[in-house]
Amino acid sequence: MNEFRTVPKEDKRLIQRCIKADKQAWDEFIKRYSNLIYSYIWSVFKEKGIPVSSSLVDDLFQDIFLHLIEDNFKRLSQYKGNCSFSGWLKVVVINFILDFLRKRQIPHVSLEENINDTEGLTLEDTLKDDKQVPQDEIFLDNEMMESLSDCIKKLNSEERFFVEMHIYRGISLERLKTILRISRSAIDMRKQRIIQRLKNCFRSKGFLLET
Amino acid sequence: MEEIEKIIKMVYGFFKKKESFSFKFRCPDEETLGAFLEGRISGFKSKRIQRHILNCKRCIQVISLFDLKETRNVPAYLIERIYQIIEEKKTLPYIFEIVIRLKEKGLSIIRSGADVILGNEVLPLAVLRSKNIEELNQELSFVKELDNLRVEINLKKKEEEKLDLTVHLLDKKTLEIPKGLSVSLFKADKELESYYPVKSRLIFEGLSPGEYELRIEKDLKELGKIKLEVI
């Protein structure tokens, strides 16, 4: 059984007890989820390539807890048990940090200037919509790019989703097989099929590929 | 990454820059996105989310960050701070507090923040005291209003060292039990019993001396707490 098949009903029961300020439930909550929250704060900064101090991580960690319990546990009450609590919490924490990064940037206008009180953040850092996608050594001129882009256009939405997620964003095949509810061998086959299709299309556009 | 994948990535990046996307659907809420990532959504709904993700920078960022690559242990001092935060947040003021002493034949009121029902009269404790009524019968009733809710507490001495607690909750306007209410009895932060009242009267039986907290909630949000001390 993998982590994604935990029973949300059990999670929901724990959260209901937390909302009632049950001390034992909070002990369990902290045991289960504090490392997760803490790790995700570090991870978001790291993945986005933004330096962060441990004191800022500490502040954000506390702010996230406050965010969950303020206004009479309003945020925690929003968890309905349709996914695992950890799944919900991960999305909440990531959104919280992304919002924090976005808000921290508002008063600043320069793209390059380092901001003293934000651990070296620049506006450019937080505007990046994803982690750096390194530019490849292969050189293709614009004309060829335009031509090869037609092959991407021909992909159906499922195939495009696969290219976006796995090839462009680097999301693992393990995660994709879970999202798409298919087996590992089926996702491997899908990958081969899409790559082969694009290869054939690229060739038809006159792009020479090694076999 | 293989050469062909690098080329696809480049071409796809070029394609994305040229292509203008339109947002057809609102971002899925956190729980829907979590369920999608955990493979709990299928069919048309899943395809709709996939199409949204292809066009939404925000959601794609969340998904890219969803799988943790490294786990870190939270420092102990931060855990301590979290406990402090939770402790501070959970201490909502009490609607009222009652301190009761179990007597040989009945109950006596030491302190009460709620009015006392005596026959047909509703009297503040001070008035009751002025009437020199100290030890009461086997049963005591207290009443207080919390917004539109009428909260009545009955305490009845049962055996030598035990009493029954009855709670009546009614909407003042409709004279019905408000929907979504729940009532829980705690002793030393431990939940003893919880009810979702279908009748206006809830009974918690056989309370021994100690400190209790009665928490009233509506739709999982705490409306208020009542403190009861039995000595």
**pLDDT score, position B72:** 94
B93 touches chain A (CB under 8 A): no
Q: Closest approach of chain A CAs to the CA of B225, in angstroms? A: 11
A40 touches chain B (CB under 8 A): yes
As a whole-number percent, the residues of chain B with pLDDT over 70 amount to 88
Probe site for chain A from B53, B65, B68, B94 (most A CB atoms < 10 A): B65
Please write the tens of the pLDDT for every residue from B99-143.
888 887 778 888 777 888 877 777 777 666 666 665 566 678 888
Please write the tens of the pLDDT for every residue from B148-184.
888 888 988 887 788 899 988 888 888 888 888 888 8
> For residue A182, what are the CA distances in angstroms to A1, A69, B46, B88, B137?
15, 37, 13, 46, 70
**pLDDT score, position A161:** 93
- B204, amino acid identity: F
- Give the nearest chain A residue to B51 (CA atoms): A157
Probe site for chain A from B62, B74, B215 (most A CB atoms < 10 A): B74
Is A92's pLDDT higher than 90? yes
**pLDDT score, position A179:** 94
**pLDDT score, position B140:** 84
pTM of the predicted model as reported, rounded to 2 decimal places: 0.62
**pLDDT score, position A35:** 95
Cβ–Cβ under 8 Å, residues B226 and B94: yes
- B224 pLDDT band, cuts 50/70/90, is confident
A198 touches chain B (CB under 8 A): yes
**pLDDT score, position A42:** 95
Q: Closest approach of chain A CAs to the CA of B117, in angstroms? A: 30
Please write the tens of the pLDDT for every residue from A15-38.
988 987 788 999 999 999 999 999
**pLDDT score, position A130:** 47
Return the closest-CA partner of residue B102 out of B163, B59, B144: B163
Rounded to the nearest 10 degrees, the angle between the axes of helix B30-37 and helix B57-66 is 50
User: Does A152 contact B12 at a Cβ distance shorter than 8 Å?
Assistant: yes
**pLDDT score, position A4:** 45
- Give the nearest chain A residue to B31 (CA atoms): A88
> For residue B116, what are the CA distances in angstroms to A75, B113, B123, B173?
38, 9, 5, 22
B51 touches chain A (CB under 8 A): yes
Cβ–Cβ under 8 Å, residues B114 and B141: no
B88 touches chain A (CB under 8 A): no
User: Does A35 contact B72 at a Cβ distance shorter than 8 Å?
Assistant: yes
User: Does A98 contact B11 at a Cβ distance shorter than 8 Å?
Assistant: no
A27 touches chain B (CB under 8 A): no
Question: Whole-angstrom Cα distance, residue A39 to residue A158?
Answer: 32
Question: Whole-angstrom Cα distance, residue A167 to residue B145?
Answer: 62
Is A157's pLDDT higher than 80? yes
- A63, amino acid identity: D
| Rounded average pLDDT over A68-75 | 79
Q: Closest approach of chain B CAs to the CA of A70, in angstroms? A: 7
Token digits of residue A121: 């953040």
**Which DSSP string corresponds to B208-228?**
PSEEEEEEEEETTEEEEEEEE
Please write the tens of the pLDDT for every residue from B132-151.
665 566 678 888 887 788 88
CB burial of residue B11 (10 Å; 0-12, 13-18, 19+): buried
Token digits of residue A160: 């495009």
Please write the tens of the pLDDT for every residue from B50-82.
989 988 889 999 999 999 888 999 999 999 989
**pLDDT score, position B90:** 61
A59-63, A111-115, B30-34, B162-166 — which is least confidently predicted? A111-115
